[in-house]
Structure 1
Amino acid sequence: MGRKHILWGHIKEHRYAYAFGFALLSISCALQLVIPILLGTFTDRLELGELTYGEAATIAVWMMAAGFGVALFRSTGRIYLFRLSRVLDMRIRDDLFKHWEKLSTHYFKNQRVGDLMSYAISDVSVIRDVTMSGIFNSLEAVVLITITVVAMVTAVDPLLTFLTMLPLPLLSILAYRFNRRIQKESAGVQEAIGDLTSRVQEFIAGIRVVKAFVQEREQSRLFRRDNEHAVAMNRRLVKSNSLFGALSSGVVGVSFLVSVVLGGIMVLRGRITLGEFVAFNSYLSLLMGPIENLGKVANTMQRGKASENRLLAILNTEPDVADDSCADASIRGIEGDIVIRNLTFRYPEAHEPALRDISLRVPKGTSLAIVGRVGSGKSTLVHLLVRLYNPPKGTVFLDGRDIHDIPLNVLRGGIGIVPQDQFLFSTTIRDNIGFDPKPYGDDDIERAAKVAQVYDNIVEFPNQFQTALGERGVSLSGGQRQRVSIARAIIKKPSILIFDDSLSAVDTETEDRILEGLKDVMEDRTTIIIGHRISSVQSADQIVVLEEGAIVERGDHESLLALNGIYADMYHKQLLDEVGERHGREWDDAGGEPTGAGRGAAGGGRAG
């Protein structure tokens, strides 16, 4: 069952701390009543001509002491309650981040980065404001209004108090009328901030493409549009808040008018003394601040409710991929024997299956290569092996166990994968290679870099392995990013190694060196290689060719060539391309025309 509240759960958990802060505020509010009493006494003594210098000095000292006490207890209570709001602030962001870590990749495919950043920064800040100014002002208003009204009734006149308070219930009506309006506009502001943040994030991430295609003016126009929309949404919210505040002040002004007119008449008729009149208006002055703050609190609460609903929608989202109830906690590792039986898989948003009736066996310590055209389902198959998506139960097995029976941390900890996008973090090269819960020494880092054929590039940098990378590793070339990703996968010494088209950005000579270095790493480990180059997959123990999500050919390199099907066609076209490139280099070196064979090969390569 999902969460229903964020604020209430926090208050309930820290109820004793809030009770202590409430006690401090109550003392502060009680001390504020001393000043009107002293002012009333001073006025009456002065009117009767009985005030002495000693009495005046005593009253002044007591007023100063009361003011000091109010400041001391109010500020202490404020600091104490505001500290609790910072605890909530930290806790929400921590819970949000941990929950994001649990959610599957499918969730993030449907979310914009700017929106997620807006949740973690803007919405959390709104809720923090609720627990800071909202709770503080609410507690102060409740206590001060209650004890002040009691004092006005008992110490001055019940009828005058009743008539003066009569307009104030209009504030509740106003708050109710503005309730949904402010909540809706607040949600609109948060969405506009999300749009604006997404625009900035996308622009910064794609700055190279923007400049290469001379799109600065268009990007500026789009940013200006989102910025103006955010300003317009904020103006609507400010307009509603200002209107609510103005109407609230008008209601308060009516109460003051009633107090002055009726109170003055009562003084003239002798029903109350001048001192009681002064004290009554001082009491009323004490009420005006809290009453006006209640209007602000109502607005803050509505904004907080809108932000809380947005955050609850995330926190109550169940992960698509999680440990099943049948997961065996006693499993500590995997060996790498893979069996797939009649696997058919469809993405949640797709109408057609991405994989159709896949069945294959990859014994422990052997290698499997997967080739096929773009969109044939190659990456989908390995994503199911690491459960980035859930395969149907009873279709994928590791070491004789259904993959759903293996805890996720054990499954993924035993698999090293080099993904297509070669994502690197904006930290040092060393930290990127050693990206694993297990700590690695410098020798391990360097050994992995040498196997991945990136060591020589790294030592050429001034700071070598301590070189800080830019956003997503942008300071490295595409081939260097791929090789660092390979080093990151092999350093953990997994039972299963997966290379998802991870050699596409390196030249053939570097590819040969990487494959040669990987021989020792791949020995006794189950290895899956996805590639478009036949040279990177031809030495695999078995090769499968996927077409529209189904296995259409399988075998080793020689047997697939003998079939003279899709695999053979890919092989011959790539062979022609390589011959064309070689003759092209010979032509460049000779400075003359290519041979006829060179022209034919080059032409064949282009046609392929």
Structure 2
Amino acid sequence: MKNWALSHLNKYLFQYRYYLLAGIAFVFLNNFFGSYQGPVIRETIDYLEQSLPALKQAAGTEKVTLQAEFGSKVTFLVLQILGLTILSGIFLYLQRKIIIGTSRRIEYDVKNEIYDHYQQLPVSFYKRNNTGDIMNRISEDVNQVRNYLGPALMYGMNLFAIFIVTVPIMLSVSTELTLYTLIPLPFLVISIYTVQNVITRHSEEIQRSMSRLSSLVQETFSGIRVVKSFGRETSMTTQFDAQSNEYKSKSIHLTQINALFFPLMVFLIGASIIFIVWIGGKKVIAGEGVTNGNIAEFIFYLNKLAWPVTSLGWITVMIKRAEVSQERINQFLKQKNTLLKGKEITTPIKGAIAFKDVSFTYPDTGIEASKHISFMVAPGQTLAIIGNTGSGKSTIASLLCRLYDTSSGDIEIDGISIRDYNLQFLRSQIGFVPQDVFLFSDTIRNNIAFGFDNVTEEQIIEAAKFSDLYTSIQHFPMGLDTILGERGITLSGGQKQRLSLARAFIRNPRLFILDDCLSAVDTKTEDTILNNLKVVLGDRSTIIISHRVSSVKLADKIIVLEDGQIAQSGSHEELMDKEGIYRNIYLKQLHETV
């Protein structure tokens, strides 16, 4: 039998069991004090019906005495109703505070569980799944699950409690009136459930339409430079109008369906009231032990039962939606980290790197990016990797950072397989500057100091100077406190790369990996950064990955990749002395710069 998706939440229900038990107790107390207003209402109406004629006929001293008794009795009954109402309200507040509050606590825990799991998953997971879907599962899907843990659970318990408390009171007064009170309720549940299903289906369509509209807006403003440079404002506005009209049409249609909800509810409740008044009235006239107070009492019970019974259809829909959402969440939670733990070594790294017959095939595409790669880098040595696009340069960086594990062969640092290092420790020792720079919508200061809580002003300035960015920062009105636009849109391509380089430098890593991170800077700036690099690195090992000879020619050793294999290796001078790929690349680039 297939496991119920929502059973994954049982551990949280158990964790917060005392909260939930308290919440259930408050639900019963709320309904107990709320339902016992009925007998007091009956007693009040019956007393008024019996006392008022005698009070009208009395005169003199007798009338004064009856008025005093009447006033005292009515005051006592009104205070009873008021007291029961207040107690019911207090316990209603407590039930909502406890149960809804618990659902928020579980929502917090579930989001943290998903987020922590996301953090553990390999890069291949993020290549298979788009960001919107990943975000949706931690936001919209978790919200649907919270509706099950909060409102659905609370209203479900409330429905159970009110039947347990109220129906016995009703039966003790009149079985027939109880039956006529309850007869329309199943029709109310079925009708509301049907309408709610239609509403849910249309709501999901509206949600999808809203997602498309949001995506269009996000892409338009994220790529506003491209839109404006191609003069496509009118075209994008037309697309927005079409998406917006679709959303408007679906929303209006849903509003029309929603309009049926309350009239249907009022009609069915009104039908029940008619039954109660008709049958009850006949019994009052026939003198069959039913009073006008009983009729008022049963109308009160009907109003007490109407919303909980109506909510049953809503609860069912919420549970169905939560189950679908939890199943989607479970799909991601079942994803396993393919980077298995080794010995969890945290020995300080010196920087000796060795690739030993390393081959790697991307699991998602089946592309063999590295084929029998072998090389060594001594501590403090600079290795450059050059090659044409698609030759496998960036794969070397990904494998060394252990974003992927090798398909065959091994990578060692200081003679220890990188699989045996603690993964977080290993990455903390590497200053990785990727070719695809990502900056946060935050200050330049916080982008440089990303990942550190205690960084001094001097360290930030030093990192900015190292990457030849500090002069540019000084020209900004807010300096280091300049807020960057989304993905660093405020900065030029070269400034983004230099900021990313400063971010890596401030970590003071043992290994530097520069993955084509100087492609957007001019030759003069590139020379400044590379010279700074040689001065400050000391005994740190460095791997420079580039397609430009100007970036790699000062390296101690250069390897040339072609189709995932090492085609050539040696120093700049050695490679220039022989015919081959490196010499061809150099001459071609030299010709382009002339």
**In structure 2, how many angstroms separate the alpha carbons of the residues matched to 1:2 and 1:538?**
61
Partner of 1:100: 118
Provide closer, same or farther for how the CA distance between residues 306 and 272 of structure 1 changes in structure 2, counting only shifts above 3 A. farther
Partner of 1:593: none
Aligned residue among 299, 305, 328 for 1:281: 299
Partner of 2:169: 151
Aligned pair count reads 575
Q: CA deviation at 1:279?
A: 1.9
Give the gaps of 5 or more residues in structure 2: 56-69
Is the 1:114–1:195 Cα contact (8 Å) retained in structure 2?
Answer: no
Q: Does 2:405 correspond to 1:390? A: yes
**In structure 2, how many angstroms separate the alpha carbons of the residues matched to 1:287 and 1:215?**
58
Deviations 1:459-512 (A, max 9, x none): 333333233222222222221221121122122222211111111112111211
**In structure 1, how many angstroms separate the alpha carbons of the residues matched to 2:266 and 2:370?**
66
Provide closer, same or farther for how the CA distance between residues 224 and 132 of structure 1 changes in structure 2, counting only shifts above 3 A. farther
Q: Does 2:27 correspond to 1:25? A: yes
Partner of 1:313: 331
**In structure 2, how many angstroms separate the alpha carbons of the residues matched to 1:116 and 1:428?**
26
Is the 2:189–2:312 Cα contact (8 Å) retained in structure 1?
Answer: no
**In structure 1, how many angstroms separate the alpha carbons of the residues matched to 2:4 and 2:462?**
47
**In structure 2, how many angstroms separate the alpha carbons of the residues matched to 1:98 and 1:189?**
31
Q: SS of the counterpart of 1:506?
A: coil
Partner of 1:344: 359
Deviations 1:79-120 (A, max 9, x none): 333322332333333333333322333333344444444444
Q: How does 1:104-115 map to 2 (within 5 A)?
A: 104-115=122-133
**In structure 2, how many angstroms separate the alpha carbons of the residues matched to 1:104 and 1:251?**
56
Deviations 1:223-250 (A, max 9, x none): 3444455556666766776667766665
Q: SS of the counterpart of 2:185?
A: coil
Aligned residue among 403, 426, 441 for 2:456: 441
**In structure 1, how many angstroms separate the alpha carbons of the residues matched to 2:159 and 2:317?**
15
Is the 2:193–2:313 Cα contact (8 Å) retained in structure 1?
Answer: no
**Paired letter, 1:299:** V
Partner of 1:572: 587
Partner of 1:54: 72
**Paired letter, 2:347:** R
Partner of 1:10: 12
Partner of 2:375: 360
**In structure 2, how many angstroms separate the alpha carbons of the residues matched to 1:2 and 1:330?**
40
Is the 2:351–2:414 Cα contact (8 Å) retained in structure 1?
Answer: yes
Provide closer, same or farther for how the CA distance between residues 246 and 389 of structure 1 changes in structure 2, counting only shifts above 3 A. farther
Deviations 1:521-567 (A, max 9, x none): 33322211111221211122221111222222222212222221111
**Paired letter, 1:124:** V
After the TM superposition, which of the residue ranges 371-380 and 60-69 deviates more from structure 2? 60-69
Provide closer, same or farther for how the CA distance between residues 163 and 438 of structure 1 changes in structure 2, counting only shifts above 3 A. closer
**In structure 1, how many angstroms separate the alpha carbons of the residues matched to 2:106 and 2:248?**
29
Provide closer, same or farther for how the CA distance between residues 351 and 231 of structure 1 changes in structure 2, counting only shifts above 3 A. farther
**In structure 1, how many angstroms separate the alpha carbons of the residues matched to 2:396 and 2:562?**
13
Deviations 1:405-447 (A, max 9, x none): 2121111111111111222222222222222347332222222
Is the 2:6–2:326 Cα contact (8 Å) retained in structure 1?
Answer: no
**In structure 1, how many angstroms separate the alpha carbons of the residues matched to 2:296 and 2:4?**
55
**In structure 1, how many angstroms separate the alpha carbons of the residues matched to 2:18 and 2:540?**
57
Q: SS of the counterpart of 1:39?
A: helix
**In structure 2, how many angstroms separate the alpha carbons of the residues matched to 1:161 and 1:29?**
18
Q: Does 2:537 correspond to 1:522? A: yes
Q: SS of the counterpart of 1:509?
A: helix
**In structure 2, how many angstroms separate the alpha carbons of the residues matched to 1:486 and 1:383?**
17
Provide closer, same or farther for how the CA distance between residues 310 and 179 of structure 1 changes in structure 2, counting only shifts above 3 A. farther
Give the gaps of 5 or more residues in structure 1: 581-608
Is the 1:183–1:306 Cα contact (8 Å) retained in structure 2?
Answer: no
Is the 1:473–1:481 Cα contact (8 Å) retained in structure 2?
Answer: yes
**In structure 2, how many angstroms separate the alpha carbons of the residues matched to 1:98 and 1:229?**
37
**Paired letter, 2:315:** V
Provide closer, same or farther for how the CA distance between residues 212 and 483 of structure 1 changes in structure 2, counting only shifts above 3 A. same
After the TM superposition, which of the residue ranges 431-440 and 453-462 deviates more from structure 2? 431-440
Q: CA deviation at 1:144?
A: 1.5
Q: SS of the counterpart of 1:569?
A: helix
Is the 1:2–1:316 Cα contact (8 Å) retained in structure 2?
Answer: no
**In structure 1, how many angstroms separate the alpha carbons of the residues matched to 2:74 and 2:189?**
42
Is the 2:438–2:488 Cα contact (8 Å) retained in structure 1?
Answer: yes
Q: Does 2:490 correspond to 1:490? A: no
**Paired letter, 2:534:** K
Partner of 2:238: 221
Partner of 1:91: 109
Q: SS of the counterpart of 2:28?
A: helix
Partner of 2:63: none
**In structure 2, how many angstroms separate the alpha carbons of the residues matched to 1:347 and 1:57?**
82
Q: How does 1:452-463 map to 2 (within 5 A)?
A: 452-463=467-478
Partner of 1:374: 389
Provide closer, same or farther for how the CA distance between residues 143 and 333 of structure 1 changes in structure 2, counting only shifts above 3 A. same
Is the 1:248–1:295 Cα contact (8 Å) retained in structure 2?
Answer: no
Partner of 1:410: 425
**In structure 2, how many angstroms separate the alpha carbons of the residues matched to 1:5 and 1:191?**
27
Is the 1:495–1:525 Cα contact (8 Å) retained in structure 2?
Answer: yes
Q: Does 2:581 correspond to 1:561? A: no
Q: CA deviation at 1:361?
A: 2.1
Q: TM-score, normalised by structure 1?
A: 0.86
